[in-house]
Every structure is written in structure tokens, then in C-alpha cells.
Amino acid sequence: MGDAKLDLLVYGASGHGKVIIDAVIKEGKHRIVAIIDDDPKLWKGEFCGYLVIGGGNVLKEKMYRGSRLILAIGSQPGVRPSFLGFCLVFPVSTMDLAGM
């Protein structure tokens, strides 16, 4: 991977998202470009200093196709399976904290 920083999108503006953001900042190897959350009340606002750009549908926008996606959603019933189905439809790259 070299020294190139990856552009990251964090999916989830909640406690899990804050933990992920803190870990990415502390590691210092990658750059968070935006936050995604399915709650329309959060759109266009900020979470931990980053813009919440909208719900999962923004992943289909060309400007985010080169970004990596980190899922920061807890164990809410039905959320993860529907998210994974969504990822099969739209081309996104995922990573976990161990991959940072």
C-alpha cells in the first residue's frame, strides 16, 4: 500500500462511528472524507467534525467510488444484512480496523 492515504467514508453517525473516527485519526494513515447515515435529520450536519453527506444511496455517486467504506453500525436488527445487500448492488470497497 505504501504511504498513500486512503479516502474513507464512515457509515454510521453514532457511538460506533465516533470510535472508528477516533481510531482513524489516532492511526494517522488515512483520511476521512465524510460520514454516511440513514437518518435524514443528520444530513448536511456534522458528526465529530465531518460532514454527514446523506444515506447509503450516496455510495452510487461517482465521486465516492474510489473511497473505502468502514461500517460503524452496532448490532441493530436487520441493519447489517440490508447494508451488505446494498454493497452488492453498488461498487464499494470495504475494510476493517485490522486492515488499516
Q: Could you list the pLDDT tens digit for every one of the 100 residues in the chain?
A: 456 888 899 999 999 999 999 999 999 989 999 999 989 999 999 999 999 999 888 877 777 777 888 888 876 665 655 666 666 655 555 555 555 5
Q: Which domain holds residue 62?
A: 7-99
In this prediction, residue 49 carries a pLDDT of 97
Q: Tell me whether residue 76 is in a domain.
A: yes
Using alpha carbons, list the distances in angstroms from residue 47 to 19, 50, 60.
Answer: 12, 5, 22
68: Cα within 13 Å, side-chain hemisphere: 15
CB-based contacts of 24-27 (< 8 A; 24+ apart in sequence): 24/70, 24/100, 27/100
Q: Tell me whether residue 2 is in a domain.
A: no
The candidate with the shortest Cα–Cα distance to 48, out of 71, 27, 20, is: 20
Q: Tell me whether residue 11 is in a domain.
A: yes
Q: What's the structural domain count of the chain?
A: 1
